[in-house]
Amino acid sequence: MAESIAQSLIDLLGDKLPGEVIVFLISLLPVLELRGGLIAAKLLGLPVLRAFAICFVGNMLPVPFILLFIRRIFAFLKRFSRVEHLIDKLEARSIRKADKVVKYRLWGLLLLVAIPLPGTGAWTGALVAALLDIRMKHALPVIAAGVLIAGAIVGAVMYGVFSFL
């Protein structure tokens, strides 16, 4: 699924923007994040280390803002009946993913972000950390480490195990 979305975005933007910018924008998006960015980078033929750096920065850029502002944004959006149900659903889904984070705190947060599966990643990790009141000074480095681990896993799969050497 991520590959088809990445390919669609490449097709849409490929003649308008450089590959690096496309990869960066894909890495910013929830759900796709660094994993989708690395897939796009491979499809665009970008070198692995450049792609990894671009994807990491793109994936981490929204994290501090999510940690700082998501609760206030959710509170504001809940005032509108049309989106209140959607916000409640998103919060409930995030809390369901938080079982390991509640039990193991920072180690659980690291695992939530580091394992490259659908519904995990920096966006989900930041949302869970914010909802569980984990302070940014603790959550941000753990999320960054998780993104690095997930990137190494996806990069090894997409580019080959020895591509980073």
Residue pLDDT tens, the chain, 165 long: 778 888 888 889 888 999 999 999 999 999 899 999 999 999 999 999 999 999 999 999 999 999 999 999 999 999 988 889 999 988 888 888 777 777 788 999 999 999 988 888 999 999 999 989 999 999 999 999 999 999 999 999 888 866 555
Span 106-128, pLDDT tens digits:
999 999 999 988 888 999 999 99
Take residue 152 and report the two structure tokens written for it.
Answer: 């190494």
In this prediction the pTM is 0.88
Q: Provide the residue ranges of all domains of the chain, joining segments of one domain with +.
A: 2-60, 63-152
Torsion of CA 63, 69, 72, 77, to 10 degrees: -60
Whose CA is closest to 126, among 53, 74, 51?
A: 74
